[in-house]
């Protein structure tokens, strides 16, 4: 390494760590050395003979040290919705959740569909200096689903992928062009898969919606859109990623497509493997999400998809909404839940329940999203950015919305008992957040 | 009439938000009490002072002259001060009005709040914010519990029971809170419920609520004791859910011909207002031997008196305890 940082290259040794590196399958006691912003060394035998005296020592006392989380689906409502969340508040929430890289959706006001929009986020992120914030560029102008954006210029400005975010690219003709054109710039196209003419409801179509007198969104709305898109992917050879898979059939369709060699990826969000439509209960608007919470069979299929690797990534789909948007009748309430601060414990829940191995679960929130978006993150590798999280894997705690650092509190997980949380978050070798005990 | 001294058994629910969750015994308790109020309402001197000094507010976010009048009469016959508030949801930003109005009304110390709203769940949301008893007078497509109770009372008074009867609910089940409340109530009371509608007007998995699904009147009405017709809203008639009024009436409009397969003397109900020539033929609608429409209207007042009585009992018992042996 010939890194010549402007500030003195502070060296810090994290010793007595349980090293967890999903990319290499490493799960062993050991130590990690950071030098400036980078990982200088890592391994089970590092500092076996003691730490040099000029190195600052942090004794982790057996706690886990893993790559900082990469959350590839976060809505930061700045600009245009600063009452819900700002780049600053989202960055704080991310740091508290052990997330060191955030990728934000273009569904702001105005929409991030030009270079100025990307640069706005880049500038805000630099000012905040807490975690790394990347942005997607809109796939179509104004996310209106008609004209494609300046993807090349957006990519040059730093857009890590193209998506209309929480809106579906509904027209097959437009989607074909988006997939075709994005190829040139090597960025994936991320789709919110819902056939809009079928998805006009407010919760999953089924007995629960019928009893509550709410309009249903059938599962087929999602399945149909994924199936259509897969045809277009085969036709164009574009890079395609399906956001928040929620139904059993969606998982099946993707599993089969991967089996026949299609280079596609997908993610799901914790609420789709941790909750079902029953959690809507008596019109709980905090359980109103898009796509909607499905039934128990779907939930299990999503867990199975994570277990066998069909689902590559877990993303929080963090969507901050203030009281005014949620304390209204269910049909009028905004979709979305926050998730930056619950992504890690809910992902760990899969491992605690032995549904998915610990390293596989962590891969879903570290190296895999980093690889899909070509981000320099998600690994405990020498030379890589020292973006790390110290995790107390087994500590039991109860989710408390009021303790969230996110500006909005719309979490459906309030009062849920969980296990494991971030206790220290490190970005570019610098500790950006530490959990205060008690 | 003097105030009732001995407190009657209380009702284990603070609000009446829906029929779902009520037991057969609780439904029977309401119906028995309502029976008494039917007789009471037929007397020349109809006014009681049971709720004297109590305030009942009818908060209607959706127009409904019938239901509002029925609740108003019920409150007044019990001696309560009844205030009608009609809030046009369109004139103010939706949602804000609901919580704000609830908080405002709550500060005025009401005893009962009767609410109708166009959104499912809106009444439940409001009930979380107030201290008084809340009665759902219809929320979106969710429930309209007093309608189901008055329908049940009408049937019980004509046929003596609900258990074992075959009840066919026909028409726009998808958008109907009346249908949902009736399905819950009739199931709780041991009746056999059918829903009869084209698939475009049926919600998903309605059979799991306890209703046998029929797509034709011929099979749906076969041997039915009771036929409940539902109103089809005009805006849903032209192509969105059914292709035309003509076609809908031809296949699903109730006329004497379709009635032939039902039990002889089968009774016909309708929550009103009727669309003659859409879901029901005028002749059938006006058949005094079969149509229970006017019974329904009369019994509606009695049922709402019973509900107001039951839900205000805890508050009345509390103030009776406070005032001790006040004359």
Three-state SS sequence of B251-310: HHCECHHHHCCCCCCCEEECCCCCCECCCECHHHHCCCCCECHHHHHHHHHHHHHHHHHH
Give chain B's count of helices (H) and strands (E). Answer: 11, 9
Distances in Å between the Cα of A380 and the Cα atoms of A41, A195, A247 are 9, 40, 33
Say whether pLDDT at B8 is over 70. no
State mean pLDDT over B63-90.
90
Q: Count of CB atoms within 10 A of residue A110's CB?
A: 14
For residue range B108-150, list pLDDT tens digits in order: 999 999 999 999 999 999 999 999 999 999 999 999 999 999 9
CA A98 to chain CA mean position, Å: 12
Provide the edge-to-edge strand list for the sheet that holds B166-170. Answer: B212-214, B192-196, B166-170, B226-229, B267-269
Specify the pLDDT at position A5: 43
For residue range B262-309, list pLDDT tens digits in order: 999 999 999 989 999 999 999 999 999 999 999 999 999 999 999 999
Strand, coil or helix: A405: coil
Per-position DSSP letters for B37-81, written without gaps between them? HHHHHHSSS----TTTT-EEEEEESS--HHHHHHHHHHHHHTT-E
| Cα(A75)–Cα(A219) distance, integer angstroms | 24
Dihedral sign, Cα of residue A295, residue A301, residue A302, residue A304: positive
User: Max Cα separation, chain A?
Assistant: 69
Task: Spell out the residues 6+ positions from residue A84 whose beta carbon is closer than 8 angstroms to its own.
Answer: A77, A320, A321, A322, A325, A407, A408
| Cα(A403)–Cα(B327) distance, integer angstroms | 54
A89-A92-A93 Cα angle (round to 5): 85
Q: Chain B residues with CB inside 8 Å of A329's CB? A: 94-95, 98, 117, 119-122, 125, 140
Dihedral sign, Cα of residue B104, residue B109, residue B115, residue B121: positive
What count of Cα atoms within 13 Å lies in the side-chain half-sphere of residue A234? 11
Q: Determine phi and psi for B44, rounding to 5 degrees.
A: -65, -40
Q: Chain A residues with CB inside 8 Å of B96's CB? A: 324, 328
* Residues paired with residue A236 on neighbouring β-strands, in sequence order: none
Say whether pLDDT at B89 is over 60. no
Q: Chain A residues with CB inside 8 Å of B202's CB? A: none
Tokens of B18: 């829906």
Tokens of A404: 């969230």
Distance between A432 CA and the closest CA of chain B, angstroms: 39
Q: Select from A139, A288, A301 the least CA-distant residue to A223.
A: A301
Q: A282, B121: Cβ pair inside 8 Å?
A: yes
* Residues paired with residue B83 on neighbouring β-strands, in sequence order: B57
Specify the pLDDT at position B99: 85
For residue range A406-425, list pLDDT tens digits in order: 999 999 999 999 999 999 99
Q: Which of B94, B125, B206 sits opposite A283 (nearest CB)?
A: B125
Q: Select from B117, B105, B122, B119 the least CA-distant residue to B67.
A: B117
Going by their DSSP bridges, the two strands B55-60 and B112-117 should be labelled as parallel
- Specify the DSSP class assigned to residue A340: T
Specify the pLDDT at position A412: 98
Specify the pLDDT at position B94: 54
Percent of chain B with pLDDT over 70: 93
Dihedral sign, Cα of residue B101, residue B103, residue B108, residue B111: positive
Q: Which of A205, A212, A333 sits opposite B142 (nearest CB)?
A: A212
Which single residue is written with the structure tokens 């039951």? B310
Specify the pLDDT at position B45: 84
Q: B204, A330: Cβ pair inside 8 Å?
A: no
Q: A283, B20: Cβ pair inside 8 Å?
A: no
| Cα(A131)–Cα(A232) distance, integer angstroms | 36
- The ranges of chain A with pLDDT < 70 are 1-9, 438
State mean pLDDT over B216-223.
98
CA A55 to chain CA mean position, Å: 34
* Residues paired with residue B192 on neighbouring β-strands, in sequence order: B166
Q: A216, B124: Cβ pair inside 8 Å?
A: no
Q: Which of A209, A214, A327 sits opposite B99 (nearest CB)?
A: A327
Specify the pLDDT at position B100: 85
Give yes or no for a contact between B133 and B110, defined as CB atoms under 8 angstroms apart.
no
Q: Select from A221, A139, A228, A222 the least CA-distant residue to A179.
A: A139
Specify the pLDDT at position B11: 85
Task: Spell out the residues 6+ positions from residue A157 whose beta carbon is closer than 8 angstroms to its own.
Answer: A115, A118, A119, A122, A137
Task: Spell out the residues 6+ positions from residue B327 whose beta carbon is closer than 8 angstroms to its own.
Answer: none
Q: Which of B140, B141, B205 sits opposite A206 (nearest CB)?
A: B205
Distances in Å between the Cα of B320 and the Cα atoms of B5, B305, B314, B326, B327 are 9, 20, 10, 8, 11
Residue among A298, A317, A387, A392 flagged as catalytic: A317
Given phi > 0 = left and psi -120 to 50 = alpha, else beta, which region is A398?
beta
Specify the pLDDT at position A353: 98
Using only C-alpha atoms, what is the Rg of chain B?
A: 20
Distances in Å between the Cα of B110 and the Cα atoms of A168, B93, B103, B131, B142 are 47, 25, 11, 8, 25
Say whether pLDDT at B4 is over 80. no
Q: Determine phi and psi for B198, rounding to 5 degrees.
A: -65, 150
| Cα(A130)–Cα(A431) distance, integer angstroms | 9
Using only C-alpha atoms, what is the Rg of chain A?
A: 21
Say whether pLDDT at B318 is over 90. no
> Please, is A109 exposed, middle or buried when counting C-beta atoms within 10 Å of its C-beta (0-12, 13-18, 19+)?
exposed
Closest residue in chain A to residue B178, using alpha carbons only = A213
Strand, coil or helix: A298: helix
Say whether pLDDT at B3 is over 60. no
pLDDT band at B320 (very low <50, low <70, confident <90, very high): confident
State mean pLDDT over B170-188.
97
């Amino acid at each position: 390494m010939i890194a010549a940082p402007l500030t003195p290259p502070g060296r810090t040794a994290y010793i007595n760590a349980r090293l967890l590196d999903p990319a290499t399958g490493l799960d062993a006691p050991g130590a990690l050395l950071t030098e400036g912003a980078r990982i200088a060394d890592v391994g089970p035998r590092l500092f076996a003979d003691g730490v040099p005296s000029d190195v600052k020592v942090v004794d982790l006392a057996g706690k886990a040290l893993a790559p900082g989380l990469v959350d590839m689906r976060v809505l930061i409502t700045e600009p245009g919705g600063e009452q819900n969340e700002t780049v600053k508040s989202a960055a704080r929430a991310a740091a508290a959740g052990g997330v060191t890289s955030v990728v934000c959706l273009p569904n702001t006001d105005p929409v991030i569909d030009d270079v100025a929009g990307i640069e706005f986020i880049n500038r805000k992120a630099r000012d905040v200096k807490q975690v790394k914030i990347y942005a997607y560029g809109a796939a179509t102008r104004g996310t209106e689903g008609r004209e494609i954006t300046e993807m090349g210029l957006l990519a040059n400005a730093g857009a890590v992928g193209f998506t209309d975010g929480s809106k579906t690219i509904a027209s097959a003709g437009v989607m074909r062009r988006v997939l075709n054109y994005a190829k040139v710039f090597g960025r994936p196209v991320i789709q919110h898969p819902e056939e809009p003419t079928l998805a006009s409801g407010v919760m999953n179509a089924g007995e629960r919606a019928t009893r509550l007198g709410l309009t249903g969104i059938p599962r087929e709305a999602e399945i149909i859109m994924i199936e259509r898109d897969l045809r277009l992917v085969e036709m164009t050879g574009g890079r395609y990623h399906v956001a928040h898979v929620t139904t059993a059939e969606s998982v099946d369709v993707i599993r089969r497509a991967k089996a026949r060699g299609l280079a596609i990826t997908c993610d799901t969000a914790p609420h789709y493997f941790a909750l079902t439509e029953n959690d809507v209960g008596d019109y709980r608007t905090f359980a109103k999400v898009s796509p909607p919470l499905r039934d128990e069979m779907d939930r299990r299929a999503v867990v199975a998809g994570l277990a066998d690797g069909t689902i590559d990534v877990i993303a929080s789909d963090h969507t901050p909404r203030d009281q005014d948007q949620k304390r209204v009748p269910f049909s009028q309430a905004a979709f979305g839940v926050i998730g930056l601060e619950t992504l890690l414990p809910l992902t760990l829940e899969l491992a605690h329940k032995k549904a998915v191995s610990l390293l596989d679960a962590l891969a879903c929130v570290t190296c895999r999203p980093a690889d899909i978006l070509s981000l320099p993150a998600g690994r405990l590798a020498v030379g890589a950015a020292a973006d790390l999280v110290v995790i107390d894997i087994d500590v039991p705690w109860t989710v408390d919305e009021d303790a969230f650092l996110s500006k909005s509190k719309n979490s459906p997980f309030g009062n849920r008992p969980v296990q494991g949380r971030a206790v220290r978050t490190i970005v570019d070798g610098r500790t950006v957040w530490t959990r205060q005990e008690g | 009439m003097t105030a009732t001294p001995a407190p009657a058994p209380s009702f284990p629910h603070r609000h009446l938000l829906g029929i779902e969750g009520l037991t057969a015994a609780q439904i029977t308790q309401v119906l028995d009490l309502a029976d008494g109020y039917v007789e009471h309402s037929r007397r020349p001197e109809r006014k009681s002072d049971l709720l004297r000094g109590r305030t009942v507010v009818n908060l209607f976010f959706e127009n409904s002259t019938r239901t509002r009048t029925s609740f108003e009469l019920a409150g007044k016959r019990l001696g309560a001060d009844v205030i009608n508030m009609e809030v046009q949801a369109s004139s103010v930003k939706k949602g804000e009005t609901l919580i704000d109005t609830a908080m405002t009304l709550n500060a005025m110390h009401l005893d009962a709040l009767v609410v109708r709203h166009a959104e499912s769940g809106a009444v439940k949301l409001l009930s979380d914010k107030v201290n008084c008893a809340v009665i759902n007078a219809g929320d979106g497509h969710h429930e309209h519990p007093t309608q189901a109770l008055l329908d049940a009372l009408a049937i019980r008074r004509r046929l003596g029971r609900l258990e074992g009867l075959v009840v066919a609910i026909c028409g726009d089940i998808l958008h109907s809170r009346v249908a949902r409340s009736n399905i819950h109530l009739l199931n709780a009371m041991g009746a056999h419920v059918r829903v009869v509608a084209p698939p475009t007007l049926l919600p998903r998995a309605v059979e799991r609520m306890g209703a046998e699904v029929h797509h034709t009147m011929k099979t749906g009405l076969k041997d039915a004791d009771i036929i409940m017709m539902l109103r089809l809203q005009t805006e849903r008639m032209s192509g969105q859910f059914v292709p035309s009024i003509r076609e809908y009436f031809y296949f699903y409009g109730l006329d004497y011909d379709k009635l032939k397969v039902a039990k002889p003397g089968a009774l016909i109900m309708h929550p009103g207002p009727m669309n003659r020539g859409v879901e029901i033929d005028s002749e059938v609608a006006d058949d005094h031997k079969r149509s229970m429409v006017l019974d329904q209207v009369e019994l509606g007042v009695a049922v709402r008196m019973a509900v107001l009585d039951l839900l205000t009992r805890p508050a009345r018992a509390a103030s009776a305890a406070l005032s001790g042996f006040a004359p």
